[in-house]
Amino acid sequence: MTKKKRMPRVLGAATLAVLVLGACATGGQGSEYTRARYFRWEQNAAGGVTITDYIGQGTDVRIPSRIRGLPVTAVGSQAFLGGGRISGSFQSRPRLTSVAIPDSVTSIGWRAFFGNRLTNVVIPDSVTTIGDGAFGNNQLTSVVIPDSVTTIGNEAFRNNQLTSVVISDSVTTIGNDAFRNNRLTSVVIPDGVTSIGHGAFGYNQQLAAVIIPASLTNINIPNVFMRTLYLQQHNARQQAARQEQQAAQQALEQTRLAGLWQQAGNSLGALRNTSWHYDARTPFGNTFLHRFERIDFGDGSYIHELRENEHDIFFARRFTRTGTFRVSGDTVIFLSSGGVYTYGTAIGNSLRVDGRTIHRIR
């Protein structure tokens, strides 16, 4: 009789244990994860709740907006770290495939959802700060940063599969590597942004279309957009602009020297039938640098010969130029046989040409 009475109780307890253990092991899906028992949490200074740990095993999670009557206002550091060890146990967290964040949350902490398998996430317009690495190492394909957010932390969305990102006008700071190593092809940086960190959009190799507001004057484009098509195009534009500027400067210089040539008339100064020479070896590490230079002036013509480091295939330089010359004051104007003007400065027995000084020998 005693055994018959106890059997229902034992079976009842076992059944309950199986149900509880089953629920803990499988975790359930959907709204079941709004229950506080699947989260560790603490009350924060603002009087709300910070989620500190997820102890369930389900991969689809809905974070509750309130726990024990208090609003959930923050997701703490590594609270949903994919594959991470649950604090105080030997159990590992699952890698989430979806998460719903309530509009009571204002702060998402360091690596809060790092290392999961999220393909989509909706960040509510209550959030003001997205912490460092918050959504890093997931599989997100697009994200909208709402108007409430002011700071996007370092590496916040690094190593995802983002092809689209919308950044709201409220954002003022984009951290280092925030969107690094994604699949972005275009991005619009809003007017409110005042600071963009190193590598923020780096390694989005197909990123070509970028709009940067005129107000953002201190951006370091090579650092922010490393390894992108945009940087390649930017560098090409910069190179073209430099070449155009150099060509314009060279044209102005040729015009100036042509004017000096005209002013000099037929004056050859004291250079007629003289020779100028330089020959020296300068110690350089375990070797030496050798320079030989000579200019022979005739009756209006010249021969200019230069030989440098002929023994070194990397630094060797050699040329022989011929042409005519004129002298205006202490300025020597050379007109090469190719029609290009250059100049030097002759003072006493020294002649400075192209930043080098040679000396008169006869």
Interatomic CA distance for residues 233 and 107, integer angstroms: 37
- The tens digit of pLDDT for each residue in 187-239 reads 999 999 999 999 999 999 999 999 999 889 889 999 999 999 999 999 999 99
| pTM for the model | 0.74
Distance from C-alpha of 203 to C-alpha of 228, rounded to nearest angstrom: 6
**pLDDT in the model for residue 91:** 82
Residues 17, 21: Cα–Cα separation, whole Å: 6
Q: Which residues of the chain have a pLDDT value below 50?
A: 1-33
Give the residue carrying structure tokens 């042509």. Answer: 258
Domain boundaries defined on the chain: 29-228, 251-360
CATH topology of domain 29-228: 3.80.10
Q: Check residue 25 and give its pLDDT.
A: 36
Superfamily the domain 251-360 falls into = NlpE, N-terminal domain (2.40.128.300)
The 10s digit of each residue's pLDDT in 304-351 is 999 887 666 677 888 899 999 999 999 999 999 999 999 999 999 999
